[in-house]
């Protein structure tokens, strides 16, 4: 009985009540429907139905990664400290890393992401430009000691990620590998049935330049993003391209003039920005000992003001002024506010002359939105923060922007040579000289995608899976006595042989009502009820999503479902 799973023998116990600590629909429903079970904070057991969904997501990811020429590998999750020390991430990751020691006292970590190890693998295996380009991927358990593991598998401390890495000898090659991934991701999320947006992003701890995120709109998401209802403009809240005219700042209402002294200290700077001195500050441009330092450029996204002071003391931290940009036309053109830098022009062909972006800080109730590095600004430029309200004009088409919540389901980066530099990853070029390799890194939250799907597709009765990821194609409910059960199993057998994936509720001593409730909760797309009409060879087919039901002869039901 291939493809047939009997509920009477399945490890599956549905729950009537929501888990006490659950706040989001995916958390509640995945637990109640018996897909996952909490093991410890942010660590989850995948039960049979859940494992099927997880495997379906993995299969789609695999197929699309293979289609772009990706080669699947499996690297260890248990990793020695040294490579992460070489890249600086042993320090940078701080508390996020799970660290451990072996019996000899050597330091190890549980991999949060694998740039270092893939770089070393390629260094070990590839010697010539002929060995490249190469795309390697794995679907693997990742470990991050998240400060706030929440929402079940949405943010775990142990979770499944597909991570891939591209290795090229040229920038054009990297751009092509990136494009391939972008397209693969589009196909993956479409096949999974996720509603998603692609937004520009900053690269965070990964370093590097161009980067985009795939966001699945959902109230339970932890990302805030801007969405244009009329064109395809979308951006996350790291920075935004809302254009403001410096000559008419009031017209937009978003210009913040910070009345700063000429040479603020960390404390006065923080005070002026309206944040505590210990705040994590993004997107601020300052001068440290006379050098312009873009606090919050990719690779250095977040700087603790207090720590900045510590590290740089007795450095003088100043806000930049107009003169600072005189010899940096690549960075900024134009307007600088009377008290330090307030507004900056950026050479962006889309933004009309006379418009500007605004500096500022992330204050409660304000949002910073993102732009695409490389497209909108150069790598060594900084991002700006702007206060944007729903209804503000879209920088692309002028329509009123919407602001929503979303789940980050994927993230693609053009890393460039950061890791290749750290590990001296060269191959012999065509001319016999070594060439430094350029890299991309690309992640999909495989386990998170399951939760994101649950968030987006559930209804008040339960889960409601798109077919591609559902644990089965059809859920047969034997609603009655022996005759119903017999027919249900016979149907299951026939469908199973035809390659249809079947879950059949053949439990005895469970009322039809309970079985119906469970079927709704479990969320398989088609529900086939073998009930009163069974003796006459009639069954009822119900569409889980629409609720539409139809009584039809057994043979027709089989044909419809096969």
- Where do contacts with ligand ATP occur on this chain (CB under 6 A)? 113, 144, 146, 155-156, 159, 161, 408-411, 443, 445, 447-448
**Cα–Cα distance, 293 to 281 (Å, whole number):** 13
Q: Which is nearer to ligand ATP, 106 or 147 (CB)?
A: 147
Cα-only R_g, the chain: 27
Q: How far is the CB of 140 from Mg ion (least distance, A)?
A: 16
Smallest gap from Cβ 559 to ligand ATP, in A, equals 40
Nearer to Mg ion, 213 or 506 (CB): 213
The token duo for 500 is 């249809």
> Where do contacts with Mg ion occur on this chain (CB under 5 A)?
408, 411
Could you tell me which residues are beta bridge partners of residue 110? 78, 98
- Tell the burial category of 487 from Cβ atoms under 10 Å away from its Cβ (0-12, 13-18, 19+): buried
Q: How far apart are CA 220 and CA 397, in angstroms?
A: 28
CB closer to ligand ATP out of 118 and 159: 159
For residues 558 and 562, give the distance between their C-alpha atoms in angstroms, rounded to a whole number.
6
CB-nearer residue toward Mg ion: 411 or 515: 411
Q: How far is the CB of 358 from ligand ATP (least distance, A)?
A: 24
**Between 7 and 216, whose beta carbon lies closer to ligand ATP?**
216
Closest of 317, 341, 303 to residue 268, by C-alpha: 317
Q: Under a CB-based contact definition with an 8 Å cutoff, are residues 8 and 507 in contact?
A: yes
Closest CA to 407 of 26, 34, 42, 131: 26
**Residue 423: contacted member of ligand ATP, Mg ion, none (CB under 5 to 8 Å, by partner type):** none
Find tokens 């949002």 and name the residue: 367
Partner touching 181 among Mg ion, ligand ATP, none, CB below 5 to 8 Å by kind = none
CB of 561 to Mg ion, least distance (A): 40
Residue 367 C-beta: closest distance to ligand ATP, Å: 16
Determine contact, residues 377/212, Cβ cutoff 8 Å: no
Residue 448 binds which one of Mg ion, ligand ATP, none, with CB within 5 to 8 A depending on kind? ligand ATP
What does 155 interact with, of ligand ATP, Mg ion, none (CB < 5 to 8 A by kind)? ligand ATP
- Name which of ligand ATP, Mg ion, none residue 113 binds, using a CB cut-off of 5 to 8 Å depending on partner kind: ligand ATP
- Let me know the angle formed at the C-alpha of 541 by 538 and 544, rounded to the nearest 5 degrees: 160
Smallest separation, CB 2 to ligand ATP (Å): 32
Burial label, 333 (beta-carbon count in 10 A; 0-12, 13-18, 19+): middle
Q: In the bound complex, what is the minimum distance in angstroms from residue 298's beta carbon to ligand ATP? A: 13
Nearer Cβ to Mg ion (90/516): 90
- Least distance (Å) between residue 411 CB and Mg ion: 4
For Mg ion, the closer CB: 169 or 236? 236
- CB 213 → Mg ion: shortest distance, Å? 6
Nearer to ligand ATP, 144 or 367 (CB): 144
Comparing every residue's Cβ against ligand ATP, the nearest one is 445
Cα angle, residue 227 at apex, residues 179 and 392 outer, rounded to 5°: 135
> Smallest distance, Å, CB 71 to ligand ATP?
20
Q: Which is nearer to ligand ATP, 52 or 448 (CB)?
A: 448
Give the CA-trace dihedral at 548, 551, 557, 561, to 10 degrees. 10
Closest-approach residue to Mg ion (CB): 411
Residue 207 binds which entry of Mg ion, ligand ATP, none, CB below 5-8 Å type-dependent: none
**Residue 369 interaction partner, one of Mg ion, ligand ATP, none, beta carbon < 5-8 Å per kind:** none
99 alpha-carbon distance from chain centroid: 24
| C-alpha to C-alpha distance for 338 and 491, rounded to whole angstroms | 78
Number of neighbouring beta carbons within 10 Å of residue 461? 15
**156 or 523: whose CB is closer to ligand ATP?**
156
Q: Measure the CA–CA gap between 141 and 490, rounded to whole angstroms.
A: 39
Write the DSSP string, 322-362.
GGGGTT-TTT-BS---SSS--EEB---TTSPTT-BEE----
409 binds, among Mg ion, ligand ATP, none (CB under 5 to 8 A by kind): ligand ATP
Q: Which residues of 514-530 are buried (b: 16+ CB within 10 A; e: fewer)?
A: ebbebbbbbbbbbbbbb
């Amino acid at each position: 009985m291939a493809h047939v799973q009997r509920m009477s023998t399945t490890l599956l116990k549905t729950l009537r009540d929501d888990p006490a600590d659950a706040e989001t629909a995916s958390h509640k429903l995945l637990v109640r429907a018996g897909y996952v079970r909490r093991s410890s904070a942010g660590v989850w057991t995948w039960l049979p139905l859940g494992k099927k969904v997880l495997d379906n997501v993995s299969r789609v990811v695999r197929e699309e990664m293979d289609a772009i020429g990706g080669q699947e590998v499996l690297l260890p999750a248990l990793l020695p400290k040294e490579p992460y020390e070489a890249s600086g991430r042993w320090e940078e990751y701080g508390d996020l890393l799970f660290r451990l020691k072996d019996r000899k006292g050597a330091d190890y970590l549980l991999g949060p992401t694998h740039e270092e190890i893939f770089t070393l693998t390629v260094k070990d295996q590839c010697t010539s430009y002929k060995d490249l380009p190469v795309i390697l991927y794995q679907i693997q358990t990742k470990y991050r000691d998240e400060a706030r593991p929440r929402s079940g598998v949405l943010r775990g401390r142990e979770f499944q990620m597909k991570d891939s890495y591209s290795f090229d000898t040229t920038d054009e090659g990297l751009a092509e590998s990136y494009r391939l991934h972008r397209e693969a991701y589009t196909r993956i999320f479409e096949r999974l049935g996720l509603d998603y947006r692609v937004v520009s992003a900053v690269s965070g701890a990964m370093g590097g330049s161009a980067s985009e995120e795939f966001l699945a709109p959902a109230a339970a998401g932890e990302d805030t993003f801007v969405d244009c209802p009329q064109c395809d403009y979308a951006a996350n809240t790291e920075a935004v391209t809302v254009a403001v005219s410096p000559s008419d700042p009031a017209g937009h209402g978003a210009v913040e003039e910070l009345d700063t002294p000429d040479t603020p200290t960390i404390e006065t700077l923080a005070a002026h920005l309206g944040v505590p001195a210990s705040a994590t500050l993004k997107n601020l441009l300052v001068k440290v000992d006379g050098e312009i330092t873009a606090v919050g450029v990719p690779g250095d996204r977040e700087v603790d003001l207090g720590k900045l002071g510590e590290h740089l003391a007795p450095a003088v931290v100043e806000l930049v002024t107009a003169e600072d940009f005189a010899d940096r036309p690549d960075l900024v053109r134009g307007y600088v506010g009377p008290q330090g830098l307030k507004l900056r022009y950026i050479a962006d062909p889309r933004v009309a002359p006379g418009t500007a972006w605004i500096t500022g800080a992330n204050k409660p109730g304000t949002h910073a939105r993102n732009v695409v590095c490389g497209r909108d600004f150069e790598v060594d430029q900084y991002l700006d923060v702007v206060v944007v309200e729903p209804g503000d004009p879209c920088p692309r088409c002028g329509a009123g922007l919407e602001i929503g919540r979303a789940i980050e389901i994927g993230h693609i980066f053009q890393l460039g040579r950061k890791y290749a530099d750290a590990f001296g990853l060269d191959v012999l070029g065509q001319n016999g000289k070594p060439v430094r390799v350029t890299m991309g890194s690309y992640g999909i939250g495989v386990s998170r995608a399951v939760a994101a799907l649950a968030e987006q597709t559930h209804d008040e009765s339960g889960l409601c899976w798109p077919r591609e990821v559902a644990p089965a194609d059809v859920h047969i409910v034997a609603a009655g006595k022996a005759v119903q059960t017999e027919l249900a199993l016979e149907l299951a057998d026939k469908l199973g042989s035809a390659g249809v994936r079947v879950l059949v509720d053949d439990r005895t001593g469970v009322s039809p009502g309970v079985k119906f409730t469970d079927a709704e909760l479990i969320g398989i797309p088609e529900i086939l009820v073998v009930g009163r009409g069974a003796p006459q060879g009639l069954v009822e087919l119900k569409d889980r999503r629409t609720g539409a039901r139809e009584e039809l002869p057994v043979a027709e039901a089989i044909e419809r479902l096969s």
